[in-house]
C-alpha cells in the first residue's frame, strides 16, 4: 500500500472529536479507527502493539543494530477538528496542479483559489489531495499517521538503513486539547519523540503558545421593558461592555508571530444570563499571566459597576510553551533539522501559533518537537495536502531514525 492509498483509506473514518462528551476517546469513531490501525500495525509484524480503553495505540519497530541507540518515538493524533464535519469525506487528487482555481463543488460554487490561498502556488506542478467542499479533509492529522506508518514500512523494506528501537503512538482528542492527558509516557518508553502534526514542508517547531480557557457568566435582572428604568440589568449588554474593554487589536485577526491574543469563541445569552467564552494565548509566560490578570481585573470592574456577582470568571490553564523543556535537550531539534536538510528541504524553524500534544508531553517528561505533515488550510473545506509533501515528511522520519543510530 502506498502512502497515498493509506491516507485515502484513513480519511474515510469519521473521527471528529467532541469537547462536550466527557469521555475518552470523545467520539466512538476514533476507537473504530484505532482498531483498524491496530490490525494494520499487527499485519506489519510490529511488536508490543497495544490499544487501551481510552484509545491510545502504541507499537514498536525493533532495533536492527547492536549499538546502544536511544529509543525515539513518532506520534500523531487520530481525531479531526470539531470545526467542520469529517463524515463521508470524498477526497480527490488534482494531478500536476496548474496554478489556477480548483473547483471543489460546482453545484455549491465552492472554489479553492490562489487568490484567497496564495500558498497553493508554492505547490504548482504537484499532486494535491482536496475535498469536495462539504467536509474537511483530515490531513490534520491523518497525513501524519500515513507518513509514520509508511516510514516504518520503508525501514522494514530497507534493512541496510541502521536504526534503533522506534516507538509509534497514535492518540485521540488532540483537537480538543486532551490528546496528551491520558498518554502514558512511562509505558511509551522513549527518550524523546516527534509529533508529525505541522503544516507546510520544512516546518520544525519547538515553541508554542501558553494557553488558557476563560468562561465568563454575566447575571442580569429581567424586568418588563415598560417599567425597567433603573431596575433592569441586561446581561447581554453587560457582556458586551466587558468585551469592549479588552484591547481591540489583540485578537487573532490582528496578530502574528509572537503576538498573543484574546479570542472570543462563543457567546450565548438572554437578558437574565449570558455566557462568554475566550481562549487566551501568548508565547511569553509573563505576558500570558498578565493577560489572565487583565480578565480578572475587568470582571472585578464589572462587579464594581453593576454589583457583586454580576460577573463570574472561570479560568483554566490548558498548556504551556514547550521551549523551556526542549532547550536543555536541543540535540533533539538539531537531529530533526539535519534530517530535514538531508531530505533536500530548507528547515523552517518557527513558533507555533497554537499548541500540539507535544507541548503537554514535553511537560510530562517526553521532549517532543513538532514536524511538518504537509497539510494546509486545516479545519475546513479548503484543506488540502500535496502528495509530494507527505512523501517528504516520510523521508524525514526515515532520516531521523538513521541519524539517531549513526550518532550513537
Handedness of CA 153, 156, 160, 162 (dihedral sign): positive
Buried b (16+ CB within 10 A) or exposed e, 210-228: bbbebebbbbbeeeeeeee
Question: Which residues touch 340 (CB under 8 Å, ≥6 apart)?
Answer: 202, 204, 346, 347, 371, 396, 399
Distance of CA 273 to the CA centre of its chain: 33
Buried b (16+ CB within 10 A) or exposed e, 89-105: bebeebeebeeeebebe
Question: Which residues touch 134 (CB under 8 Å, ≥6 apart)?
Answer: 85, 90, 105, 108, 110, 381
Grid coordinates belonging to 33: 479507527
Residue for grid cell 492529522: 141
Q: One of 79, 173, 175, 282 is an active-site residue; which one?
A: 79
Grid coordinates belonging to 124: 504548482
Other Cβ atoms within 10 Å of 397 Cβ, number: 27
Distance of CA 298 to the CA centre of its chain: 31
Grid coordinates belonging to 178: 486532551
Grid coordinates belonging to 406: 549513526
79 as an active site residue: the answer is yes
Distance CA 112, CA 98 (A): 13
Q: Count Cβ atoms within 10 A of the Cβ of residue 115 and give its class: 0-12 exposed, 13-18 middle, 19 or more buried.
A: exposed
Distance CA 295, CA 380 (A): 30
Which residue, 144, 201, 227, is CA-closest to 347? Answer: 201
Residue 318 DSSP one-character state:
E
Query: Kindly report the CA angle at 201 between 105 and 39, in degrees rounded to 5?
Result: 75
126 as an active site residue: the answer is no
Residue for grid cell 481562549: 279
Q: For the chain, percent helix, then strand, then coil, each to nearest 5?
A: 35, 25, 40
Q: One of 174, 175, 203, 207 is an active-site residue; which one?
A: 174
φ/ψ of residue 82, rounded to 5: -70, -5
The residues annotated with a catalytic role in the active site are: 79, 174
Amino acid at each position: 500500500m502506498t502512502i497515498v492509498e493509506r491516507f485515502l483509506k484513513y480519511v474515510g473514518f469519521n473521527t471528529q472529536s467532541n469537547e462536550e462528551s466527557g469521555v475518552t476517546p470523545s467520539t466512538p469513531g476514533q476507537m473504530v479507527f484505532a482498531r483498524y490501525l491496530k490490525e494494520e500495525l499487527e499485519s506489519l509484524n510490529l511488536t508490543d502493539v497495544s490499544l487501551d480503553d481510552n484509545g491510545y495505540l502504541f507499537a514498536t519497530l525493533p532495533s536492527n543494530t547492536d549499538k546502544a541507540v536511544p529509543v525515539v518515538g513518532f506520534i500523531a493524533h487520530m481525531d479531526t477538528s470539531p470545526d467542520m464535519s469529517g463524515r463521508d469525506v470524498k477526497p480527490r487528487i488534482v494531478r500536476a496542479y496548474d496554478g489556477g482555481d480548483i473547483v471543489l463543488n460546482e453545484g455549491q460554487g465552492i472554489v479553492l483559489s490562489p487568490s484567497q490561498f496564495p500558498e497553493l502556488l508554492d505547490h504548482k506542478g504537484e499532486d494535491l489531495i482536496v475535498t469536495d467542499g462539504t467536509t474537511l479533509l483530515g490531513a490534520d492529522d491523518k497525513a501524519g499517521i500515513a507518513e509514520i506508518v509508511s516510514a516504518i514500512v520503508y525501514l522494514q523494506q530497507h534493512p541496510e538503513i541502521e536504526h534503533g528501537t522506534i516507538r509509534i503512538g497514535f492518540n485521540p482528542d488532540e483537537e480538543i486539547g486532551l490528546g496528551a492527558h491520558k498518554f502514558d509516557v512511562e509505558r511509551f518508553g522513549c527518550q524523546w519523540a516527534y509529533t508529525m502534526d505541522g503544516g507546510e514542508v520544512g516546518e520544525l517547531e519547538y515553541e508554542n503558545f501558553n494557553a488558557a480557557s476563560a468562561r465568563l457568566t454575566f447575571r442580569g435582572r429581567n424586568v418588563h421593558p415598560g417599567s425597567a428604568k433603573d431596575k433592569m440589568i441586561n446581561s447581554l449588554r453587560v457582556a458586551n461592555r466587558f468585551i469592549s474593554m479588552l484591547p481591540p487589536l489583540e485578537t487573532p485577526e490582528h496578530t502574528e508571530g509572537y503576538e498573543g491574543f484574546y479570542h472570543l469563541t462563543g457567546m450565548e445569552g438572554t437578558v437574565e444570563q449570558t455566557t462568554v467564552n475566550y481562549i487566551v494565548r501568548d508565547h511569553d509566560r509573563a505576558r500570558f499571566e498578565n493577560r489572565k490578570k487583565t480578565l480578572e481585573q475587568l470582571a472585578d470592574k464589572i462587579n464594581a459597576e453593576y454589583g457583586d456577582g454580576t460577573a463570574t470568571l472561570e479560568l483554566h490553564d490548558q498548556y504551556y510553551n514547550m521551549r523551556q523543556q526542549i532547550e536543555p535537550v536541543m540535540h533533539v531539534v538539531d537531529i530533526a533539522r539535519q534530517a530535514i536538510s538531508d531530505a533536500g528541504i530548507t528547515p523552517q524553524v518557527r513558533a507555533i501559533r497554537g499548541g500540539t500534544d507535544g507541548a503537554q508531553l514535553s511537560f510530562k517528561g517526553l521532549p517532543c518537537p513538532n514536524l511538518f505533515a504537509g497539510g494546509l488550510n486545516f479545519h475546513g473545506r479548503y484543506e488540502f495536502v500535496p502528495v509530494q509533501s507527505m512523501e517528504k515528511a516520510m523521508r524525514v522520519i526515515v532520516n531521523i531514525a538513521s541519524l539517531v543510530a549513526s550518532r550513537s
